[in-house]
Chains A and B, each alone.
Chain A
Amino acid sequence: KQEVTQIPAALSVPEGENLVLNCSFTDSAIYNLQWFRQDPGKGLTSLLLIQSSQREQTSGRLNASLDKSSGRSTLYIAASQPGDSATYLCAVFNQGGKLIFGQGTELSVKP
């Protein structure tokens, strides 16, 4: 059974700092891995999607890496801003055709 774990559960940083969020998964047989952002009481916004054959994806200040063999992904946020405050969710699309989520990292960026 696929399990997705995110560390840390919560993170508070001062504005401008670079930070890394971690995601690990137990079954490396995945199609892709996706990072989402969720604001309180809201739905999900897709940030980056990495196919199983890819190593990383970049969008603006965000960079996500994937090491499928070790079951790990990281989301790197450069020059963090207060507007980045949200919960970040990692999810893997496994070969059973389901998107399995981690429990998220709640990020707070202090001005």
Chain B
Amino acid sequence: GAVVSQHPSRVICKSGTSVKIECRSLDFQATTMFWYRQFPKQSLMLMATSNEGSKATYEQGVEKDKFLINHASLTLSTLTVTSAHPEDSSFYICSARVATSGQINSPLHFGNGTRLTVT
């Protein structure tokens, strides 16, 4: 159970273009999804928390106008990297928590990540 699907798995884009990454919970509903970024040989850094039907909460230092997050349904959150630059090249991973009342400490389930390369 608890499968999170992330698409695409790899994307190469030119500098200045925008890229959308989708994160879907396939067999459960997720009121909260998290977006992480991982640079080579480094750990996962939380970028933002996405709540269904409301605005995302961004971590300090993450530009909300550059990394647009939309969580329009209980099974889908999207991250759009706008006007991408080579320094945005990274591995982006989403995670989701099963929407069970009171279970704030339930485990997170992760997607397989998206490798973004900006040329």
Contact = CB atoms under 8 A, between A and B. Distances in A.
Interface in B9-67: 34, 36, 42-46, 49
Q: Which DSSP category, helix, strand, loop or mixed, fits chain B's interface?
A: strand
Interface residues of B, number: 22
B59 to A, nearest CB: 8
A101 B110 contact: no
B107 A49 contact: yes
B44 A101 contact: yes
Contact of A31 (B43, B44, B105, B110): B105
B115 interface: yes
Interface of A: 31-32, 34, 36, 41-44, 46, 49, 51-52, 89, 91, 93, 97-104
Contacts, number: 52
A101 B113 contact: no
Given A42-B112, A43-B93, A98-B49, A103 B42 contact: yes
A77 B119 CA distance: 41
Contact of B46 (A31, A42, A99, A104): A99
B35 to A, nearest CB: 12
26 contacts: A31-B104, A32-B107, A34-B107, A34-B108, A41-B113, A41-B115, A42-B112, A43-B6, A43-B93, A43-B110, A43-B113, A44-B44, A44-B93, A44-B95, A46-B109, A49-B107, A91-B44, A97-B49, A97-B104, A98-B34, A98-B46, A99-B34, A99-B46, A100-B46, A101-B43, A101-B44
Given A32-B107, A34-B107, A101-B44, 7 more contacts: A31-B104, A41-B115, A42-B112, A43-B113, A49-B107, A89-B44, A101-B45
Nearest to B44: A101
Given A97-B104, A99-B34, A42 B43 contact: no
A108 to B, nearest CB: 14
Nearest to A4: B43
A46 B110 CA distance: 8
A97 B44 CA distance: 16
Which of B36, B45, B105, B109 counts the most A-chain CB atoms under 10 A from its CB? B105
